Structure 1
Amino acid sequence: MVPRTRALLLTAVALALVAPAAAAPPPEPVCDACGDTFERHAEYHGVDVTVDRSTATVTVAENGTATWVVRNDLAPSPAVDRLRSNATLLTEATRTALRNADFVAANVSADGVLTMTFRRPDFAERGVGGTLRSGEFTRSFGYRNLDGLGADRLVVVAPEGTRVAASVPGSTVSDDGVRMTLTDFDRGGFVTFVPESATLGFLLSWLSIAAVVGPVVVQNALLGVALPAAVVAVLVVGAGRLLPELDGVLGAIRARPGRSLLLAGVAGVGLSFAGRVLSVFGTGLPVLFGVSVTAVGLGAVLVGTGPVRWTYGRALAVAVLGAAVAAVAVAAGSVLFYGRVPWFGLGPRLALLTAVFAFLPAGFALRRGQRRLGVATAAAGVVLALGATTPLVDTYQVFGLGFRVVLALGDALWLAALGVPLLVVGAALAGSGT
């Protein structure tokens, strides 16, 4: 059984090292035919223009088709004169300016205003009770990574006979509900249009959004939270069956729990520095360092306090305290190894410390014969940790279903690999009567 356990741990470490991060497409503004983005697009076609101001009006039809009218005020230049006098060049430089839209027309006025018209047939779709729902301002539909508005002002006009119900955060809606105006874009959201006569328009809007978000939340919760928790629960059950075969090891730890934790922590710190030299573990390196430093600290406290009468409640309290201390140590390790705290890659992993330290009381309960409590403790730690870091309402996924399952299994094995030493320590403390 021991060789199999070692193979499992090696597999977990390997998955943690080689699992790729979810790559996103290049960022683009909501209106990529506006402002600076259009300047770069035009330059690609050999037209060097400068946009002084950019506005866009999006008029939505009853069938969900949207007509985009983009107006770019161009600074005077020979390129502007070329566009005005050369219809072929104008069409070539503008027809693909707005992604996923059909080009309709373009012209340049005498005062240098470039007006482009596009049509996007899938801007909005039918929702509940005659409602129209648009995900244009979210990552929910299409392979888009939205970054900024692009225009100085963007106005969305509701279909005839409807009004805006749900709007983008930061936008303003006219008193009659017909127009939604954006001058900035920081956080996306769904936009819904409900019939003007609808008494419970807010409810229809909410139901229309829930209809598309609800199944996504369930899928993300199952793949991102429930599946890793179930895998960890199975691994903990297997670990519980192995514990009686480790009485010799548990006895040694039980006799000197403080010293054992201290030595394990020192070994982990040494492994962290070795990982930095060898450039392995990636953003998991500060996590390993933080957990190891916390083990050193807890071990030193136990050595100083002497024998302790352990209970499940005390083991749980030590786990909570350990997770908090480890979070600080992880941040310190990031500064030590990288000179900064890379919150984008490291931040979500701090919450995973909850799952790692939950293995301590889980091991305690297992050794006391409380198998259900032990499994529930470990699984609850995973649910709390992954529930706090998994974007449950995000329908934007780079990877397919199969690979997401592989990633979920990798998360579970990675957490188990870090948590097994704490599970063994918890089991050893359970055999202590003092």
Structure 2
Amino acid sequence: MAVAVVLAVLAVATLAPAGASSPPRPACPACGTLFEQAADDRGADVTVRESRALVQVHANGSATWTIRNRLNATDGLDGGTLDGIARERTDGYGPPDDATLRDARLEANVAVVVLYDADAAERHAGLLMVDYLNADGEGTGIRMNADLFRVRGPAGTVVTNAPAGAVKDGRTAAWTGHTGDAALGARKGVGEARVVIGPASTSGIRTNAALALATLPVVIETLGRFVLGQTFLFALGLGVAAYAVRGSERDPTTLGGGFVACGVAAVVVPAIVYGPDWLWITAPALAAIPVGVAATRPAVRERRWTPRSLAVGAVLALAGAAAALFALELAVGGSGPLGTTMGSLAVAGPLVACLPLGAALARDRRTAAAWGGVVVLGFIVMTLTIVDPVDPPTGLGGGVLLAFLSIAAVVGPMLCAPVLALGRALATPRAE
């Protein structure tokens, strides 16, 4: 089981580039430093003191953007230069992706840019949904490059969901930032990066239905790319491993000793190589150690273990590993100890579930198939812990993660084999 830590090490190595495939994109196409840079390219020396953007959504799903940059200096900035800046920033620097320039004007020391987006919002379950601030798996999220960014619904509507980081006031959702490089956030979940607009009487169920309908195509595509094929490969390999172990007779003492040795090595070696970062990968090893120790005890070897009793033991081993991992994370001052623990347990889950499956191999095929399904389910849970089905990685990061999961689907059953063998051995008592 502890050998599974190799899989976790590979996960750490591959998930880092997956999350850094591209930089955050700006929320506003013509705010702050983006406006200053475009002006500088045209020989105008301007300094933006404050940027504000208002996205007025209309009942037909279109929207009008009004961007206001308050300037400290306007040297070289005239109407023609401002028009050129606005057209450059409108072309391919979304959001919005396909906007048209309606107006560009100077009001004293304020540069005003007005854009029109004919397809700003989609309608789901009768509600308008604006996803300008949805990262769609690109890079690390959204860069809130405006001091104030507001999305406002038509008259007579309200914002019915709770977008992360926003202050809601009736039909308006507002975010505050600054004209520099403040990040709105990375990988917002469903309902966080989208603004849902509807009547004041809209229920939470209807809002959730709209969000589900909006993300359903993304979820289906994600499952097809990252889950279905890999799960089939894993299930096929698990079946081969189970068939190979089914008729074998192994000594639980030998297997248990191997588990302890591998578990200790899998804790110590990454600690030396990676330092505090090793904690993410230790749950399989921390679970393997007590399982191995128990397997070497005469009282354990002499008992006929059922799949259910081994499942209870596996859960206890995971619980102990979780407690130890959480305590270690707190001791070293790691960030997000709960998230680290849950992620590591997700990797350990399918391996530990092979213990009762091994015992089930000594019984009928129906029992073995049922416990095999539990192991496969654990693999699916592990995959969905790594891949957000609503906001999957794209580009290079998505390709690297796809390769990792495909390798895991092939290598995983090989790592399951010794766990299956131990479960099979414990299902057959050995008298001293």
* Shorter-normalised TM range: 0.7 to 0.9
Q: Aligned in 2, Cα 1:215/1:108: closer, same or farther, shift over 3 Å?
A: closer
Q: Shift in Å at residue 27 of structure 1?
A: 0.9
2:60 maps to which of 60, 63, 68 = 63
Rounded Cα–Cα distance in structure 2 between residues aligned with 1:60 and 1:289: 49
Q: Shift in Å at residue 66 of structure 1?
A: 1.8
TM-score normalized by structure 1? 0.73
2:195 maps to which of 177, 181, 191 = 191
Identity of matched residues, %: 26
Rounded Cα–Cα distance in structure 2 between residues aligned with 1:350 and 1:365: 23
2:312 maps to which of 317, 324, 334 = 317
Q: Shift in Å at residue 391 of structure 1?
A: 1.8
2:378 aligned with 1:378: no
Partner of 1:262: 260
2:213 aligned with 1:211: yes
* Partner AA of 1:241 in structure 2: Y
Conserved? CA contact 1:368–1:430, under 8 Å:
no
Any idea what SS the aligned residue of 1:95 has?
A: helix
Any idea what SS the aligned residue of 1:321 has?
A: helix
2:32 aligned with 1:31: no
Partner of 1:81: 75
Conserved? CA contact 1:327–1:353, under 8 Å:
no
Q: Aligned in 2, Cα 1:82/1:302: closer, same or farther, shift over 3 Å?
A: same
Q: Aligned in 2, Cα 1:324/1:415: closer, same or farther, shift over 3 Å?
A: farther
2:88 aligned with 1:96: yes
Rounded Cα–Cα distance in structure 1 between residues aligned with 2:206 and 2:87: 37
Q: Shift in Å at residue 242 of structure 1?
A: 0.7
Partner of 1:364: 359
2:426 aligned with 1:426: no
Q: Shift in Å at residue 145 of structure 1?
A: 4.9
Q: Shift in Å at residue 254 of structure 1?
A: 2.5
Partner of 2:132: 136
Rounded Cα–Cα distance in structure 2 between residues aligned with 1:170 and 1:268: 40
Conserved? CA contact 1:59–1:66, under 8 Å:
yes
Conserved? CA contact 1:152–1:183, under 8 Å:
yes
TM-score normalized by structure 2? 0.74
Any idea what SS the aligned residue of 2:142 has?
A: coil
351-360 vs 229-238, which deviates more? 229-238
Q: Aligned in 2, Cα 1:161/1:421: closer, same or farther, shift over 3 Å?
A: same
Q: Aligned in 2, Cα 1:387/1:255: closer, same or farther, shift over 3 Å?
A: same
How many residue pairs match? The answer is 403
Conserved? CA contact 1:362–1:375, under 8 Å:
yes
Partner of 1:4: none
Consecutive unaligned residues of structure 2, counting only runs of 5 or more, are 178-183
Report which structure shows greater RCO (CA 8 Å, sep ≥6).
2
Partner of 2:146: 151
Q: Aligned in 2, Cα 1:236/1:63: closer, same or farther, shift over 3 Å?
A: same
Conserved? CA contact 2:106–2:112, under 8 Å:
yes
Residue deviations 1:254-300 (CA, integer Å, cap 9, x gap): 254543433343565687589x49x9xxx8x6666553454344434
Q: Aligned in 2, Cα 1:416/1:36: closer, same or farther, shift over 3 Å?
A: farther
Residue deviations 1:65-107 (CA, integer Å, cap 9, x gap): 22211111122x3xx1321xx4443334443335233333333
* Partner AA of 1:57 in structure 2: L
Q: Shift in Å at residue 357 of structure 1?
A: 1.4
Q: Aligned in 2, Cα 1:192/1:246: closer, same or farther, shift over 3 Å?
A: same
* Partner AA of 2:48 in structure 1: V
Alignment RMSD (CA, Å): 4.4
Q: Shift in Å at residue 407 of structure 1?
A: 5.0
Q: Shift in Å at residue 386 of structure 1?
A: 3.4
Residue deviations 1:210-234 (CA, integer Å, cap 9, x gap): 3222343344445545554443332
Any idea what SS the aligned residue of 1:415 has?
A: helix
Rounded Cα–Cα distance in structure 2 between residues aligned with 1:327 and 1:381: 16
Q: Shift in Å at residue 189 of structure 1?
A: 3.0
Q: Aligned in 2, Cα 1:302/1:48: closer, same or farther, shift over 3 Å?
A: farther
Rounded Cα–Cα distance in structure 1 between residues aligned with 2:287 and 2:88: 56
46-55 vs 16-25, which deviates more? 16-25
Partner of 1:5: none
Conserved? CA contact 1:30–1:149, under 8 Å:
yes
Residue deviations 1:326-354 (CA, integer Å, cap 9, x gap): 45666799999x99679899973442211
Bigger strand fraction: 2
Rounded Cα–Cα distance in structure 1 between residues aligned with 2:409 and 2:231: 7
Conserved? CA contact 1:257–1:429, under 8 Å:
no
Q: Aligned in 2, Cα 1:240/1:418: closer, same or farther, shift over 3 Å?
A: closer
Conserved? CA contact 2:253–2:295, under 8 Å:
no
Any idea what SS the aligned residue of 1:115 has?
A: strand
